[in-house]
Amino acid sequence: MTTVVAPPRAEAKEPPPPPAEPRHLPRWAWALIVIGVWIVVWAFTKGQDTLTLGAREHTQLQNDLTEFRNAVLASRDTNPFIQFTYQLGEWFKEAVEWCQRMISIPDFPRPVPQIGWLGVTAVAVWIGLAVAGWRIALLVAASFVSFGLFGYWSDSMDLLIVTFVSVSVAVLIGMPLAVLLGTTSRLGNSIINTILDIFQTMPTFVYLLPIVLFFGIGASAAVVCTLIYALPPLIRIAGHGIRSVPSTTIEATDSAGQTSWQRLRKVQLPMARKTIVVGLNQTIMAALSMATIAAYVDGPGLGQPVLQSLFKNDVGGAFVPGMLIVVMAVMLDRTTTAASEASEKAARGRINMRQRRIVLAVAAVPVLVALWMSRFYTWAAAFPENNLGPSVADAVNSFTEWFVDAFGGATEWFKNVITEALINPMQSLLAESPWYVTATAIMALALVLGGLRALMPTVICLIGIYIFGLWHDAMITLTMTMVGTVLVMVMALVFGVWMARRKSVDLLLRPLLDAGQTIPPFVYLIPMLALFGPTRFTAIVAGVIYAAPVAIKLVADGVAGVSSSTVEASRSTGATTWQEITKVQLPMSKGSIVLAANQGLLFMLSMAVIGGMVGAGALGYDVVLGFSRSEEWGKGAAAGITIVLIGIMLDRIARAAANQDPITHNPTRRPWWRSSMG
C-alpha cells in the first residue's frame, strides 16, 4: 500500500468550474428589442381587434357564469354542498352575532350590549397587561377610548369581533397544517407550499365573489374571506418555525426514546414558539386588513363607514374611521409583537412569574368593578355622546378643500405628468394594440426574461384571459399595475440603497415602513382620493404607497447583506460611490431586487382592484359591479378570474427571471444533509 499523504475527504472536493459562457446580448437588451418591434407594429395597427367590451355587454361565457350563479342559488334548499356551506356560514354568523350582543349592539330587551364600553376596555387593558406588560396596556386603553370618543365604538367592536372569530378559526385549521408542513416529507411540503403560493398570489378581492355565492353576504362571508386570507401566513411561518428546530436537538431528544407526539409537544412546538407567535401576528394583521375590505360584502365593522364615504367622495367622513382602523392595526401589531417578546422572556426564565401573577390578580379587581358598572350604569354602558368625530371630519374636509385650493395646481401637474408620460402611452400600447400583437409581445418578453419556464404559464394565463372575455379591461389593469410597479421600484431603489448605506436613514425610516406595512391597504385610498380625485391615478398612487414599504425593506436588506469585504475591496480600487452602487451593491443584491419587484407587482395588482370604485375602472370596477347587480355577476366573476390569471402570470415571470439569474441561483449551496452533519 502506498503512503496516504492527505486523508481523502469527500466534501473538500471542488466542483468542476462551470464552462465559460459564450458572450451574448444581455436580457434587458433583448427585452428592449421586443418592445421596439412592438411599438412599430402598434403604430400601424392600433385600434384594431382590441376586444373592447361595452359597459353592459356580456360574452356568452360571462352569461353562463351568471346562469351558474342563479342555478346555485336556486338549488340552495336541495344541494347538500350548498346546504353545508350555508350551515357553516350560519355558525360563523351566530358566533359573530353572539359576540356583538355581548359588546357592540343592544342585546334585546336591554337597550345596550351585555358589557358596556368601560367593561370591554378594562378587560382589554387587563389582557394587554397580562400578555405584554403595562406599556401595551396603556396603548390598549388609549386605543379603546379613541374608538368611543370618535363615535365609532360599535363599528370598531364589530371589526375586532370579525377579526378574532376569523383568527380563532384560522388557528384551529392552520396549526395542524403548520405541523404537517413542519414535519412531513418534502413531497407533502411542496404540495402545501404550492397551494399556499396560489392563495397568496390571489389579490384579496378575488375571494369575495365565490364566497358570497356559497356563504351569502354579511358576517358569514366576512368571516370566511378573512379566514381564507389570514390562513397562509400562519401555516407558512409556523411551519417554517417548526421545521427550523435544529436537527441536533431533535436527534438528541429522539435518542432518549420519545414518541413523535412527545417530540412535537415538548420539543418542536416550544422551540418554535417565537416564530409561531410571529406567524400569529402576521395572521392577525392580514385578518384585520381583509376584515375591513369585507365591507364590500356587507361585513360588519369600520370598513363600512369608510366604504360609504368613499362612494360619496366624502374624504372627511372616511378619514375618521380610516384613522381608527390604523389605530387598531397599530394596537394589534404592537400587542402581539410585545407578547411574543414577553413570552420568549418568560420561557427563558427572565420574568418573575410569582410577582406577575400577584400583579395580575390585583389588577383584576378594578376590572371586575368596571365590568359590573358597565352593566348597570348608562354612562359606563354606552359611550357618552360627543361631537368629536363629526367635527374632525369637518375639519378634515375644510383642510382638504384648502389644500386642494392651494396646491391643487401642483398635484394636478404631478398627476398629469405621470399620466401623460407613463400611463397613457403604456395603456395605449398594451390595450390599443390588436390583442394578438399584445399577447405575442407579452410571450416574447416572458421568454426573454424568464426562459421557457416563464413562457409556459404565460401562455396558459393569456389563453385564460382571452377566454374570459375581458381582454381590454385586463390590459388596462395590467398597465396600472406595471406603472405602479415601476414607481415602486424607483422608490425602492432610491430609499433602499440610501438606507443600506446610511445607518441613520435606516433608523429613521424603518419604523415608518413597519408602521406602513401594518395599515390595511384600503385606508391608503382616503388621502389619495382627497388629493387626486376619483381617477386611475389615485389607485396607482395608493398602490405605490401600499407596496413601497415592503419593496424598500427588501432592497435595503439585500443591499445591506452584500458582504462588506467585497464593498471594501471595490473601494480600495478607487471606485466612486456611484460605481460602487451600480457595479457592486446592486448587481450583488439582484435577488432581493427581483423579489421586491415581484411583491410590488402583486400589491399593485390588488390595489388596482380595490381602487376600482374610486375611478380605477377596468377589472376592479367589473368586480365591484358584480357584487351589486345580480345580472353582472358573471362578468364580475370573469373579472376576478382574470385578475388571478394576471397575478399568476406576473408572479411566474418574475420568479423565473429571478431563478435564471446566475447570481441568485447559487450552485455552491451545500445540500441540506451536509450542512447538518458533523
Partner 1 sequence: MTTMTDHEPQGTSVPATDAALAVHNLWKIFGKGGDKILGTPDAELPRPELKEKTGCVVGVKDVSFEVAQGEVFVVMGLSGSGKSTLVRCLTRLIEPTAGEVIVDGEDVTKANESRLRELRRNHASMVFQHFGLLPHRQVIDNVGYGLEIRGVPKKERRAKAAEVVDLVGLSGYEFSYPDQLSGGMQQRVGLARALAGDPKLLLFDEPFSALDPLIRRDMQNEVIRLHHELRKTMVFITHDLAEALKLGDRILIMRDGEVVQVGTPDQIIGAPADEYVRDFTSEVPRSHVLTLKWVMHEPNGDAGDGPVLQADQIVKDAARVVLDHHGPCRVMDGDKLVGVVDDEDILRVVVAEEEAPA
Ligand X SMILES: Nc1ncnc2c1ncn2[C@@H]1O[C@H](COP(=O)(O)OP(=O)(O)O)[C@@H](O)[C@H]1O
Q: Which residues make up the interface to ligand X (CB under 6 A)? A: 10, 673, 677-678
Question: Which residues have CB under 8 Å from 619's CB, separation 6+?
Answer: 470, 473, 474, 476, 477, 608, 609, 612, 639, 642, 643
| Residue 257 touches which member of partner 1, Mg ion, ligand X, none, C-beta under 5-8 Å by kind | partner 1
In angstroms, give the least distance from the CB of 11 to Mg ion. 12
Alpha-carbon torsion 126, 131, 133, 135, what sign?
A: negative
> Toward ligand X, which CB reaches closer, 80 or 678?
678
Question: Which residues have CB under 8 Å from 422's CB, separation 6+?
Answer: 483, 486
CB 652 within 8 A of CB 638: no
Question: Which residues have CB under 8 Å from 153's CB, separation 6+?
Answer: 104, 117, 147, 383
Distance between CA atoms of residues 322 and 303, nearest Å:
8
Task: Tell me the CA distances in angstroms from 58 to 67, 624, 637, 669, one per residue in order.
Answer: 12, 16, 12, 53
In angstroms, give the least distance from the CB of 269 to partner 1. 10
In angstroms, give the least distance from the CB of 243 to ligand X. 17
Residues 256-295 as x/- pattern, contact with partner 1 by CB under 8 A: xxxx--x---xx--xx-x----------------------
| Residue 256 touches which member of ligand X, partner 1, Mg ion, none, C-beta under 5-8 Å by kind | partner 1
| Residue 347 touches which member of ligand X, partner 1, Mg ion, none, C-beta under 5-8 Å by kind | partner 1
Distance between CA atoms of residues 180 and 174, nearest Å:
10
Distinct helix (H) and strand (E) counts, the chain: 32, 0
Upper half-sphere CA count for residue 506 (Cβ side, 13 Å) = 14
- Out of 10, 20, 406, 452, point to the residue binding partner 1 (CB under 8 A): 10
Q: Is there binding between residue 368 and partner 1 (CB under 8 A)?
A: no
> Toward Mg ion, which CB reaches closer, 75 or 249?
249
Distance between CA atoms of residues 179 and 114, nearest Å:
38
In angstroms, give the least distance from the CB of 644 to partner 1. 37
Distance between CA atoms of residues 637 and 633, nearest Å:
6
Query: Between vectors from CA 511 to CA 505 and to CA 517, what angle results, nearest 5°?
Result: 120
In angstroms, give the least distance from the CB of 12 to ligand X. 11
In angstroms, give the least distance from the CB of 251 to ligand X. 11
CB 241 within 8 A of CB 277: no
> Toward ligand X, which CB reaches closer, 572 or 675?
675
In angstroms, give the least distance from the CB of 170 to partner 1. 25
In angstroms, give the least distance from the CB of 254 to Mg ion. 17
Q: Is there binding between residue 187 and partner 1 (CB under 8 A)?
A: no
The span of 67-75, 164-172, 550-558, 670-678 binding Mg ion (CB under 5 A) equals 670-678
In angstroms, give the least distance from the CB of 250 to ligand X. 14
CB 205 within 8 A of CB 606: yes
Nearest one of 204, 232, 222, 388 to 302, comparing CA atoms: 222
Residue 13 has a CB neighbour count (10 Å cut-off) of: 8
In angstroms, give the least distance from the CB of 678 to Mg ion. 3
- Out of 60, 78, 185, 255, point to the residue binding partner 1 (CB under 8 A): 255
Hey, what's the cell of 10?
469527500
Residues 330-349 as x/- pattern, contact with partner 1 by CB under 8 A: -----------------xxx
Residue 412 has a CB neighbour count (10 Å cut-off) of: 14
> Toward ligand X, which CB reaches closer, 349 or 671?
671
> Toward ligand X, which CB reaches closer, 5 or 10?
10
In angstroms, give the least distance from the CB of 129 to partner 1. 23
Q: How many residues bind partner 1 (CB under 8 A)?
A: 35
Q: Is there binding between residue 678 and partner 1 (CB under 8 A)?
A: yes
> Toward ligand X, which CB reaches closer, 406 or 677?
677
Q: Is there binding between residue 669 and partner 1 (CB under 8 A)?
A: no
Q: What residue type is 84 in one-letter code?
A: F
Residue 678 has a CB neighbour count (10 Å cut-off) of: 3
| Residue 20 touches which member of partner 1, ligand X, Mg ion, none, C-beta under 5-8 Å by kind | none
Hey, what's the cell of 147?
374608538
| Residue 663 touches which member of ligand X, partner 1, Mg ion, none, C-beta under 5-8 Å by kind | none
Question: Which residues have CB under 8 Å from 641's CB, separation 6+?
Answer: 206, 464, 468
In angstroms, give the least distance from the CB of 248 to ligand X. 12
> Toward partner 1, which CB reaches closer, 573 or 675?
675
Is 61 buried (19+), middle (13-18) or exposed (0-12) by CB count in 10 A?
A: middle
Is 102 buried (19+), middle (13-18) or exposed (0-12) by CB count in 10 A?
A: middle
Hey, what's the cell of 559?
443591499
Q: Is there binding between residue 19 and partner 1 (CB under 8 A)?
A: no
CB 586 within 8 A of CB 559: yes
In angstroms, give the least distance from the CB of 17 to partner 1. 18
Residue whose Cβ sits closest to ligand X:
673
Nearest one of 555, 13, 616, 32 to 310, comparing CA atoms: 616
Q: Is there binding between residue 678 and Mg ion (CB under 5 A)?
A: yes
Distance between CA atoms of residues 646 and 434, nearest Å:
18
Residues 218-247 as x/- pattern, contact with partner 1 by CB under 8 A: ----------------------------x-
> Toward partner 1, which CB reaches closer, 105 or 351?
351
> Toward ligand X, which CB reaches closer, 12 or 406?
12
Q: Is there binding between residue 55 and partner 1 (CB under 8 A)?
A: no
Q: Is there binding between residue 252 and partner 1 (CB under 8 A)?
A: yes
In angstroms, give the least distance from the CB of 4 to Mg ion. 20
In angstroms, give the least distance from the CB of 668 to partner 1. 18
- Out of 251, 394, 420, 631, point to the residue binding partner 1 (CB under 8 A): 251
> Toward ligand X, which CB reaches closer, 6 or 677?
677
The span of 56-64, 251-259, 327-335, 381-389 binding partner 1 (CB under 8 A) equals 251-259
> Toward partner 1, which CB reaches closer, 3 or 185?
3
Residue with cell 365573489: 209
Residue with cell 395646481: 409
Dihedral, CA atoms, 537, 543, 547, 549, nearest 10 degrees? 80
| Residue 671 touches which member of Mg ion, partner 1, ligand X, none, C-beta under 5-8 Å by kind | none
> Toward Mg ion, which CB reaches closer, 249 or 378?
249
Query: Between vectors from CA 94 to CA 88 and to CA 97, what angle results, nearest 5°?
Result: 145
Distance between CA atoms of residues 580 and 571, nearest Å:
7
User: Rule CB under 8 A: which residues touch partner 1?
Assistant: 1-4, 7-11, 13, 246, 248-259, 262, 266-267, 270-271, 273, 347-349, 673, 677-678
User: Rule CB under 5 A: which residues touch Mg ion?
Assistant: 678
